[in-house]
């Protein structure tokens, strides 16, 4: 068992290392998981079989299959779509989008939209313009009905839920977290407010640096069952037990924005505490039963059954686009009010730009972070949900565009692909605005 755990950690670290190293990434065209035979056959060949316990599920190019089959690897709970009708997304497909060309921000040569998608390991892409599908494509193991792990795009669903509860007066952003969750009184969250949790300015000690084996992310992942636990593991049994062990970081600057996934699980805990419902129940009641979703979604759970608010959502690209479209329309979808406009306004207002700038996201100049959303503060009012390996909901209100994208980039960090994909998204939006 110890050996398989080590392998799992090595696989994850290799993935992180690629993100930081200068080595050329693998050839995207050669990484189609179906062509490569990953999990194909009856049964698949042993060397093309993905396992969770040895970490092979998280090793590129197996990830191109795993990300599209997450609940086959990790237990997950249900997000029911209800028994209502599917809200069909009208189609107005445009052949001119594929060839839209743009200049990457990294000094690379001009490329087209379709080149950018392929080169960046896209698994699924849906582009809505004024609520209609103008472009849609699936790669590798994906299809319109296939659910993909959303990684940290999940956080924006949770942040939106949180802001909805604020609007309803059920959650006070100025209150201390421990007012709702006394269990955190001896942790680094003792003095932290709800607003600080929602905006990731908590000042807790939690490093998300995969390349450092002493990072808190490792204990966190084991507590949450995201990674196998070593033999004799006696650490925290859940995300929430882990959160109780988190310390205050004496070196954290007051009010600093630091992207720490554990904060989202604390927000998830707050949401559950004030509603006495599970995250799955809430996502079903608030979004899945109301947005005419095509499929039930799922959300990964930790070994104690708590949903992984920081990154566990498993859903289809079209359903992700529906959620984005609702946000673009200030909380309305299909003529129904899903959430108050004030919630979207609060999110779109963004966080403190100075504070964000100090966090060093070179690919995101002028951006800020608010309610678990990334806010560009640009001339189009773009805001986005973002997850590692390329997952995103990109919302451009001025261009009336929503882009939902799943990917399995070998690099975890979006900093690697942002210089290509952000200009690509903008080019499509500009093009659609013009004609």
For a second copy, the binding residue among 9, 12, 14, 50 (CB under 8 A) is 50
- In the list 9, 14, 18, 73, the residue contacting a second copy (rule: CB under 8 A) is 73
- Left, alpha or beta for 121 (phi > 0: left; psi -120 to 50: alpha)? left
- Selecting among 56, 152, 284, 409, the annotated active-site residue is 152
CB 149 within 8 A of CB 323: no
Tell me which stretch binds a second copy (CB under 8 A): 49-57, 249-257, 320-328, 349-357. Answer: 49-57
100-103: long-range contacts, CB 8 A cutoff, minimum separation 24: 100/427, 100/428, 100/431, 101/427, 102/423, 102/424, 102/426, 102/427, 103/423
Give the distance from CA 261 to its chain's centroid: 10
| Cα–Cα dist 229/232, whole Å | 8
* CA dist., res. 61 & res. 350, Å (int): 36
Which of helix, strand or coil describes residue 218? helix
187 near a second copy, rule: CB under 8 A? no
Q: Does 365 bind a second copy (CB under 8 A)?
A: no
Using the contact rule CB under 8 A, the part of the chain among 48-56, 107-115, 319-327, 359-367 near a second copy is: 48-56
Size of the residue set binding a second copy (CB under 8 A): 48
Q: Is 152 a catalytic residue?
A: yes
Asked if 1 interacts with a second copy (CB under 8 A), we say yes
Compute the distance between CA of residue 139 and CA of residue 124 in angstroms, rounded to an integer: 6
Angle at which helix 317-328 crosses helix 153-167, to 10 degrees, equals: 40
49 near a second copy (CB under 8 A): yes
Indicate the residue among 314 and 338 with the shorter CB distance to a second copy.
314
Residue with token string 């065209």: 29
Binding a second copy by CB under 8 A: which of 60, 67, 257, 269? 269
CB of 139 to a second copy, least distance (A): 19
Using rule CB under 8 A, residue 231 touches a second copy? yes
Tokens of 318: 């079209």
Q: How far is the CB of 379 from a second copy (least distance, A)?
A: 39
Q: Active-site positions? A: 152
Residues that bind a second copy (CB under 8 A): 1, 39, 41-44, 49-53, 69, 71-78, 80, 83, 86, 145, 147, 229, 231-233, 237-238, 240, 269, 272-273, 275-278, 294-296, 298, 301, 303-306
């Amino acid at each position: 068992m110890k050996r398989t755990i080590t392998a799992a950690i090595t696989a994850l670290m290799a993935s992180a290392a690629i993100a930081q190293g200068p080595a050329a990434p693998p050839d995207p065209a050669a990484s189609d998981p179906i062509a490569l035979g990953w999990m194909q056959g009856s049964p698949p060949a042993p060397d093309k079989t993905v396992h969770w316990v040895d970490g092979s599920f998280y090793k590129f190019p197996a990830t191109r299959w795993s990300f599209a089959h997450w609940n086959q690897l990790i237990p997950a709970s249900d997000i029911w779509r209800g028994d209502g009708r599917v809200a069909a997304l009208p189609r107005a497909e445009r052949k001119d989008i594929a060839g839209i060309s743009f200049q990457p921000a990294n000094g690379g040569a001009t490329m087209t939209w379709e080149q950018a998608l392929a080169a960046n390991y896209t698994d699924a892409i849906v582009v809505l313009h004024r609520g209609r599908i103008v472009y849609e494509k699936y790669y590798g193991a994906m299809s319109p009905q296939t659910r993909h792990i959303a990684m940290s795009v999940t956080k924006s669903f949770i942040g939106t839920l949180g802001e909805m509860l604020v609007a309803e007066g059920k959650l006070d952003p100025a209150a201390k977290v421990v007012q709702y969750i006394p269990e955190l009184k001896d942790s680094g969250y003792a003095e932290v407010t709800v607003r600080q949790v929602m905006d990731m300015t908590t000042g807790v000690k939690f490093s998300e640096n995969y390349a450092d084996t002493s990072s808190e992310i490792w204990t966190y992942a084991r507590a949450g069952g995201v990674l196998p636990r070593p033999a004799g593991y006696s650490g925290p049994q859940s995300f929430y037990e882990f959160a109780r062990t988190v310390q205050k970081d004496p070196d954290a600057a007051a009010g600093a924005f630091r992207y720490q996934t554990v904060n989202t699980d604390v927000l998830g805990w707050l949401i559950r505490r004030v509603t006495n419902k599970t995250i799955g129940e809430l996502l079903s009641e608030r979004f899945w039963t109301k947005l005419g979703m095509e499929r039930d979604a799922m959300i990964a759970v930790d070994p104690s059954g708590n949903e992984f608010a920081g990154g566990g959502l498993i859903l289809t690209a079209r359903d992700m686009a529906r959620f984005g479209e609702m946000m673009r329309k200030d909380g309305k979808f299909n003529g129904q009010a899903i959430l108050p406009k004030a919630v979207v306004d609060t999110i779109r207002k963004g966080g403190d730009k100075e504070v964000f700038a100090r966090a060093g996201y070179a690919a995101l100049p002028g951006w800020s972070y608010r309610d678990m959303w990334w806010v560009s503060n640009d001339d189009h009012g773009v805001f986005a949900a973002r997850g590692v390996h390329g997952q995103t909901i990109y919302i451009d209100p001025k261009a009336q565009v929503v882009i939902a994208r799943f990917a399995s980039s070998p690099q975890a960090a979006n900093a690697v692909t942002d210089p290509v994909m952000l200009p690509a998204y903008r080019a499509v939006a500009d093009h659609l605005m013009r004609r």
